[in-house]
Structure 1
Amino acid sequence: MADSVDSVDLADRARGVEHRRAAARARHLSRRSLLAGAVAAGSAALLSACASGGSGTAGSSAAAGNASQRATESFPFTVEHTYGSTTIEAEPTRVAAVSWVDADVVISLGVVPIGMPAVSAGDDGTDAHPWTTEALEALGAGWDTGSAPAVYSAADGVDVEEIAALEPDLILGVHSGMSEKDYQRLSAVAPTLAHPTGAIAYGASWETVTVAVGRALGRSAAAEALVKATTYLVTSTATANPVLSGATYAAAQIDISGPSIALYTTTDSRSQVLGQLGLTPAPAVIAAGVDTEDALSVDLPLEEAEQLNADLLWLQVEDAAAVEAIGDEGRLSRIPAVAAGTALFVTDEVAAMSLAAASPLSLPWCCENHVPEIVAAIEAGRAAATASAAATATAGASAAAS
Structure 2
Amino acid sequence: MACAAPLAALVLGLLPLPGSADPFPAVIDHRYGTTTVPAKPTRIVSLSFIGHDFLLALGERPYALRKWYGSDPYGVWPWGHDALGEAQPVVMRGEIDIERIAAMEPDLIAAQWSGITAQQYALLSQIAPTLPPRAEDGDYGTPWQQMLLRLGTATGKRTTAEAIVTRIEGRFAELRASHPEWQGASAMMAWAGHTRAYTRADIRGQFLTALGFSVPDAPGGPNALNRFYVEFPAEDPSAMDVDALIWLDTGRNVEKLARMPLRHTTRAYREGREIYADKLLSAALSHSSPLSLDYALDQLVPLLEAAADGDPATVVSSTANAGLLAKGGS
Q: 2:137 aligned with 1:194, yes or no?
A: no
Note if contact 1:211-1:220 (Cα within 8 Å) is conserved in structure 2.
yes
Q: Show the counterpart of 1:38.
A: none
Note if contact 2:29-2:134 (Cα within 8 Å) is conserved in structure 1.
yes
Note if contact 1:102-1:213 (Cα within 8 Å) is conserved in structure 2.
no
Offset at 1:262? 1.5
The 1:355–1:328 alpha-carbon spacing in structure 2 relative to 1, beyond 3 Å, is: closer
Q: 2:26 aligned with 1:87, yes or no?
A: no
Matched letter for residue 273 of structure 1: F
Matched letter for residue 257 of structure 2: I
Offset at 1:222? 2.2
**Cα distance in structure 2, aligned partners of 1:385 and 1:292:** 39
Q: 2:51 aligned with 1:102, yes or no?
A: yes
Report the secondary structure of 1:313's partner residue.
strand
Offset at 1:318? 4.7
Q: Show the counterpart of 1:134.
A: 82
Offset at 1:215? 1.2
Matched letter for residue 167 of structure 1: E
Q: Show the counterpart of 2:209.
A: 275
**Cα distance in structure 2, aligned partners of 1:375 and 1:165:** 50
Note if contact 1:302-1:332 (Cα within 8 Å) is conserved in structure 2.
no
Matched letter for residue 378 of structure 1: A
Higher helix share: 1
- Superposed counterparts of 1:1-400, under 5 Å: 53=18, 71-73=21-23, 75-121=24-70, 127-136=75-84, 142=85, 145=86, 148-154=87-93, 156-241=94-179, 244-254=182-192, 256=193, 260-281=194-215, 285=216, 291-294=222-225, 295-319=227-251, 322-348=253-279, 350-379=280-309, 382-384=310-312
Report the secondary structure of 2:312's partner residue.
helix
Report the secondary structure of 1:211's partner residue.
helix
Matched letter for residue 211 of structure 2: L
Offset at 1:251? 2.0
**Cα distance in structure 1, aligned partners of 2:232 and 2:75:** 34
Note if contact 2:272-2:307 (Cα within 8 Å) is conserved in structure 1.
no
The 1:109–1:126 alpha-carbon spacing in structure 2 relative to 1, beyond 3 Å, is: closer
**Cα distance in structure 2, aligned partners of 1:293 and 1:356:** 20
Q: Show the counterpart of 1:31.
A: none
Matched letter for residue 72 of structure 1: D
The 1:126–1:213 alpha-carbon spacing in structure 2 relative to 1, beyond 3 Å, is: closer
Matched letter for residue 102 of structure 2: A
The 1:71–1:239 alpha-carbon spacing in structure 2 relative to 1, beyond 3 Å, is: same
Offset at 1:317? 3.7
Per the normalisation by structure 1, the TM-score is 0.66
| RMSD of aligned residue pairs (Cα, Å) | 2.8
Offset at 1:171? 0.7
Note if contact 1:83-1:180 (Cα within 8 Å) is conserved in structure 2.
yes
Matched letter for residue 307 of structure 2: A
The 1:133–1:192 alpha-carbon spacing in structure 2 relative to 1, beyond 3 Å, is: same
Larger Rg belongs to: 1
Deviations 1:302-337 (A, max 9, x none): 2331242211001224545x3333333432332222
How high is the sequence identity, in percent, across the aligned residues? Answer: 30
**Cα distance in structure 2, aligned partners of 1:225 and 1:135:** 17
Deviations 1:358-396 (A, max 9, x none): 1211111212233333333334xx221899xxxxxxxxx
Note if contact 1:246-1:279 (Cα within 8 Å) is conserved in structure 2.
yes
Matched letter for residue 93 of structure 1: T
Offset at 1:219? 2.6
Deviations 1:172-198 (A, max 9, x none): 112321122322232232111111112
**Cα distance in structure 1, aligned partners of 2:26 and 2:52:** 22
Any gaps of 5 or more consecutive residues in structure 1?
A: 1-50, 54-68, 137-141, 388-402
With CA pairs under 8 Å and 6+ residues apart, which has the higher RCO, 1 or 2? 1
**Cα distance in structure 1, aligned partners of 2:147 and 2:311:** 39
The 1:217–1:332 alpha-carbon spacing in structure 2 relative to 1, beyond 3 Å, is: same
Matched letter for residue 302 of structure 2: P
**Cα distance in structure 2, aligned partners of 1:72 and 1:307:** 47
Note if contact 1:290-1:297 (Cα within 8 Å) is conserved in structure 2.
no
Any gaps of 5 or more consecutive residues in structure 2?
A: 1-15, 316-330
Matched letter for residue 137 of structure 2: A
Per the normalisation by structure 2, the TM-score is 0.79
The 1:163–1:377 alpha-carbon spacing in structure 2 relative to 1, beyond 3 Å, is: farther
Aligned residues: 299
Offset at 1:201? 0.5
The 1:94–1:345 alpha-carbon spacing in structure 2 relative to 1, beyond 3 Å, is: same
